[in-house]
Amino acid sequence: MSEKDQQDRDLVLKFLSGVKDPALKKDIISLGFVKDLQVDGKQIKIKLSLTSPGCPHKDEILSDIVRSLEGYSVIIEVTHNVLSGSFVRKEGTRKVKNIIAVGSGKGGVGKSTVSILLAYALKKLGAKVGIIDLDFYGATIPSMLGSSFVQEVNESGLLIPPLHQGIKIISLAYFVPQNSSVIWRGPMLSKAVHDFMEKVDWGELDYLIADLPPGTGDVPITLGQDRLINAAIIVSTPQPAAVNVALKLIDTFKKLNVPVLGGLENMSYFICPNSKEKVELFGSRYFKEKLEEIGLPYLGALPFVPQLRELEDVGVKEENISYIIDDIIPVAQELTCRLSVLNYQISERPFFLNIPKKK
Amino acid sequence: MSEKDQQDRDLVLKFLSGVKDPALKKDIISLGFVKDLQVDGKQIKIKLSLTSPGCPHKDEILSDIVRSLEGYSVIIEVTHNVLSGSFVRKEGTRKVKNIIAVGSGKGGVGKSTVSILLAYALKKLGAKVGIIDLDFYGATIPSMLGSSFVQEVNESGLLIPPLHQGIKIISLAYFVPQNSSVIWRGPMLSKAVHDFMEKVDWGELDYLIADLPPGTGDVPITLGQDRLINAAIIVSTPQPAAVNVALKLIDTFKKLNVPVLGGLENMSYFICPNSKEKVELFGSRYFKEKLEEIGLPYLGALPFVPQLRELEDVGVKEENISYIIDDIIPVAQELTCRLSVLNYQISERPFFLNIPKKK
């Protein structure tokens, strides 16, 4: 490389080091987001690797880059590299970057529905996604999705999870006849959590969504104590009785050192099919107020959609609920962004620090 | 007693032995329902003791008696003597005649609301009632009722339960601050079930309503294996995802030999406050159909009442929901009637067999 070329390149790097990731609050050079840089006179090609698919700050970062390189012609290629926390995963989840619990403490607030919607939204954003149904007594993910199961194992003896519309799924519902129950005391629940993670061939996944059971018992305790999940989000209706139980799960995760990314309100309102008016079935505000009180982000509100419930009775197809998925995409973006920040902070080291030198 | 008197009395007894209890399918003399009989010429006074407060067959039995004694002038005094199963109760529940679990498997279908409504309805029918909140992770009965607690013990060291509008209540919510959680694994749940029954001074109760947690785990297993409850009723919305989980709890109780008295549909429909039209939020029919399939009684359907939910946010007072309680009274009657039959069958012996002889 000529001295002139090196000077051009250094100048461009200097400009780029003025561009910050608004979430991580560091410049994109220190963060190692610039994976490749080609400077050819006034022509610049940048390969940019962001941390989260559908990063909500992507547009802001891109326009900041273009602005910082005024006078240049800039081509930017964006990829993403989902960060992983510093978790030691065993066997089946070895290549799973993030496991996010969807909990509420309370039953019947729509944890499974939210898990499904989040999984579809993350997939739409370009991520590799799975759902692990840890509500063993009330395993409903397969019936809600209309997903069926062929028992297959890989060469290492790990169970191959069914792939439903691109999403890998494991649920006890695949193994127990519909009207039959599992009469398990607590220790069995702990064992089942580990089995579902370790004895299933999850392969490479960016996000594995863990649908939790109600309560603050064996399943969340196992997830926290055994450091199995990266973070959790909390789902609740705005109804005080539900919110107060959700706060208990938040307290549990705090005691177990599981980071909570925020609270998502579900069944917030209902559009009456006759009058088209908005009815707040479970009240309003209480969840948001309580989250603010304890300093946790409010991730948004989802309506009660009877059509979705009807689809869940027979099996949800992605194409039938694309308008609902679109509604939840901002929540998914916010979530992955917060998770990136968390993983970045946890890793306690700058990642991808070196820009590869041009040969 | 003169021979004439004895003949008159024998004739009346013969007439009365033609009157059957429609539920127990035996005559009221063999059943020992006639506790006292005074025959004075054409004047007859009967003390009748039925098995259940608000027995739904009371009117039928009374009119059958009057019909069978045509030509006589009849005065009947009705009391009730709630039957108890052959359960060995310890300490605190020694004088509790029946413990009825309200379960669903699924969370968020209104178990606590139904428990409260049933307790009020049974009280209105004349029974002595308590509520034992066994949903330890999501204990909400006290906040729904606005009931507060003063920790007191009796001379034997048993805890005195707070009396809220005539109903005795125990809940973990009295002992744990609202936003704090109990991080208990399964075995603690079992111990807590026993503590709540044995270390609380329940005194004399006809019915103790046990509000269950979601799931088919430690709490229902303990109740069944340790023979703590007489029977259960199952609450579900009509939504298939909820019904299928409810069926699992029914299966669990079957495996544990806990009699299930029937299924009660909740949140069946909603009257839109604007259009006043009936909206089936969670579909319809599925619970009733499934109950019929497995041969269990359908006890009825309760609406989704936003006003009730609002009252529960601040504490339900009996006088504010008397119209809702009236709606559930037929369910309570049906329930006590089925329980009487069950207890009668279990006891395997005619009870109160002898009519006391007139001195």
Mind telling me how many Å the CA of A191 is from chain B's nearest CA? 13
Could you say which of B184, B189, B283 has the minimum Cβ distance to residue A310? Answer: B283
Could you say which of B245, B272, B282 has the minimum Cβ distance to residue A138? Answer: B245
Give the Cα separation of B111 and B245 in Å (integer).
Answer: 14
Tokens (6 digits) for A70: 């005024």
Q: What is the pLDDT of residues B11-51, one digit of tens each?
A: 999 999 999 999 889 999 999 899 999 999 899 999 999 98
Q: What is the pLDDT of residues A140-174, one digit of tens each?
A: 999 999 998 888 999 999 999 999 999 999 999 99
Question: Chain A: residue nearest B255 by CA?
Answer: A183
Residues 6+ positions from B151 with CB-CB distance below 8 Å: B159, B174
Is residue B52 within 8 A of residue B337, CB to CB? The reply is yes
Could you say which of B249, B282, B313 has the minimum Cβ distance to residue A283? Answer: B313
Say whether B268 sits in a helix, a strand or coil. Answer: coil
Give the Cα separation of B198 and A68 in Å (integer).
Answer: 73
pLDDT of residue B204: 95
- Averaged over A15-43, what is the pLDDT? 93
CB-defined contacts A:B, below 8 A: 192
Which uninterrupted H or E stretch holds B13? helix B3-16
Mind telling me how many Å the CA of B89 is from chain A's nearest CA? 23
Task: Report residue B52's pLDDT band, with 50, 70 and 90 as the boundaries.
Answer: confident
In what side-by-side order are the strands of the sheet with A129-133? A163-164, A167-170, A129-133, A205-211, A96-103, A231-236, A260-265, A298-301
Amino acid identity for residue B277 in this structure: E
Mind telling me how many Å the CA of B29 is from chain A's nearest CA? 43
Q: What is the pLDDT of residues B86-136, one digit of tens each?
A: 677 889 999 999 999 999 999 999 999 999 999 999 999 999 999 999 999
Partnered with residue A267 across adjacent β-strands are none
A270–B274 C-beta distance less than 8 A: no
Which uninterrupted H or E stretch holds B14? helix B3-16
A108–B109 C-beta distance less than 8 A: yes
User: Alpha-carbon dihedral of residues B63, B66, B69, B75, nearest 10 degrees?
Assistant: 150
Question: Chain A: residue nearest B135 by CA?
Answer: A215
The dihedral region occupied by A60, where left means phi > 0, alpha psi between -120 and 50, and beta the remainder, is: alpha
List CB contacts (< 8 A) between A313 and chain B: 239-241, 283
- Averaged over B329-351, what is the pLDDT? 80
Decide if pLDDT at A358 tops 80.
no
Question: Chain B: residue nearest A215 by CA?
Answer: B137
Decide if pLDDT at B359 tops 60.
no
Is residue A312 within 8 A of residue A266, CB to CB? The reply is no
As a whole number of Å, the CA-based R_g of chain A is 22
User: Alpha-carbon dihedral of residues B222, B224, B228, B230, nearest 10 degrees?
Assistant: 150
Provide the terminal-to-terminal Cα distance of chain A, rounded to the nearest Å: 8
Tokens (6 digits) for A259: 């980071």
pLDDT of residue B53: 83
Tokens (6 digits) for B123: 């009280």
What is the overall mean pLDDT for chain B? 91
Is residue B222 within 8 A of residue A194, CB to CB? The reply is no
User: Which range is least confidently modeled, B149-158, B216-225, B286-295?
Assistant: B149-158
Q: What is the pLDDT of residues A66-104, one digit of tens each?
A: 999 999 999 999 988 888 876 778 899 999 999 999 999
Tokens (6 digits) for A175: 């193994």
Task: Report residue B347's pLDDT band, with 50, 70 and 90 as the boundaries.
Answer: low
pLDDT of residue A357: 45
Would you say how long chain B is, in residues? 359
Could you say which of B181, B279, B304 has the minimum Cβ distance to residue A252? Answer: B181
Could you say which of B185, B220, B313 has the minimum Cβ distance to residue A186? Answer: B185
What is the overall mean pLDDT for chain A? 91
Please state, in angstroms and as integers, the Cα–Cα distance from residue B192 to each residue in A105, A299, A331, B97, B188, following that order. 19, 36, 39, 21, 6
Question: Chain A: residue nearest B290 by CA?
Answer: A179
pLDDT of residue A150: 84
List CB contacts (< 8 A) between A244 and chain B: 140, 143, 178-179
CA angle, A237 as apex, B113 and A281 as ends, to 5°?
70
Supply the angle between the helices B186-198 and A186-198 in degrees, to the nearest 10: 160
Name the more confident of B49 and A276: B49
Decide if pLDDT at B341 tops 70.
yes
A181–B252 C-beta distance less than 8 A: yes
Question: What DSSP string runs through B286-317?
Answer: HHHHHHHHHT--EEEE----HHHHHHHHH---
| % of chain B surpassing 90 pLDDT | 72
Tokens (6 digits) for A115: 């898990």
B185–A217 C-beta distance less than 8 A: yes
Q: Which of B218, B104, B313 is nearest to A107 (CA)?
A: B104
pLDDT of residue A88: 72
Q: Which of A111, A22, A97 is nearest to A337 (CA)?
A: A22
pLDDT of residue A187: 93
Question: What DSSP string runs through B43-97?
Answer: EEEEEEEESSTT-TTHHHHHHHHHHHTTTSEEEEEEEE-----S----GGGTTEE
Per-residue b/e over B121-155, b at no fewer than 16 CB within 10 Å?
bbbbbebbbbbbbbbbbbbbbbbbbebebeeeeee
Question: Chain A: residue nearest B108 by CA?
Answer: A108
Could you say which of B138, B218, B245 has the minimum Cβ distance to residue A185? Answer: B218
Per-residue 3-state assignment (H helix, E strand, C coil) for chain A? CCHHHHHHHHHHHHHHCCCEECCCCEECCCCCCEEEEEEECCEEEEEEEECCCCCCCHHHHHHHHHHHCCCCEEEEEEEECCCCCCCCCCHHHCCEEEEEEEECCCCCCCHHHHHHHHHHHHHHCCCCEEEEECCCCCCCHHHHHCCCCCCCECCCCCECCCEECCEEEECHHHCCCCCCCCCCCHHHHHHHHHHHHHCECCCCEEEEEEECCCCCCHHHHHHHHCCCCCEEEEEECCCHHHHHHHHHHHHHHHHCCCCEEEEEECCCCEECCCCCCEECCCCCCHHHHHHHHHCCCEEEECCCCHHHHHHHHHCCCHHHHHHHHHHHHHHHHHHHHHHHHHHHHHHCCCCCCCCCCCC
Tokens (6 digits) for B203: 């005194």
CA angle, B197 as apex, B195 and B200 as ends, to 5°?
80
Amino acid identity for residue B188 in this structure: M
Decide if pLDDT at A290 tops 70.
yes
Give the Cα separation of A143 and B67 in Å (integer).
Answer: 56
Is residue B163 within 8 A of residue B129, CB to CB? The reply is no
Tokens (6 digits) for B136: 């330890």
Q: Which of A211, A248, A275 to mutate to test the interface with B (most CBs of B within 10 A)?
A: A248
B218–A144 C-beta distance less than 8 A: no
Q: What is the pLDDT of residues A176-235, one digit of tens each?
A: 988 889 999 999 999 999 999 999 999 999 999 999 999 999 999 999 999 999 999 999
Mind telling me how many Å the CA of A232 is from chain B's nearest CA? 16
Mind telling me how many Å the CA of B288 is from chain A's nearest CA? 15
Tokens (6 digits) for B198: 């044995």
List CB contacts (< 8 A) between A184 and chain B: 216-217
Question: Chain B: residue nearest A243 by CA?
Answer: B179
Decide if pLDDT at B353 tops 60.
no
Question: Chain B: residue nearest A220 by CA?
Answer: B183
List of domains in chain A? 3-81 (3.30.300.130), 91-346 (3.40.50.300)
Is residue A336 within 8 A of residue A54, CB to CB? The reply is yes
| % of chain A surpassing 70 pLDDT | 96
User: Alpha-carbon dihedral of residues B275, B276, B281, B284, nearest 10 degrees?
Assistant: -130
As a whole number of Å, the CA-based R_g of chain B is 22
Tokens (6 digits) for B120: 């009020």
Question: Chain B: residue nearest A275 by CA?
Answer: B275
Tokens (6 digits) for B149: 């607690």
List CB contacts (< 8 A) between B133 and chain A: none
List CB contacts (< 8 A) between B281 and chain A: 270, 281, 304, 306
Decide if pLDDT at B289 tops 60.
yes
Decide if pLDDT at A115 tops 90.
yes
Give the largest Cα separation in chain B, rounded: 76
B182–A140 C-beta distance less than 8 A: no
Mind telling me how many Å the CA of A165 is from chain B's nearest CA? 21
Give the Cα separation of A85 and B132 in Å (integer).
Answer: 43
List CB contacts (< 8 A) between A108 and chain B: 106-109, 214, 242
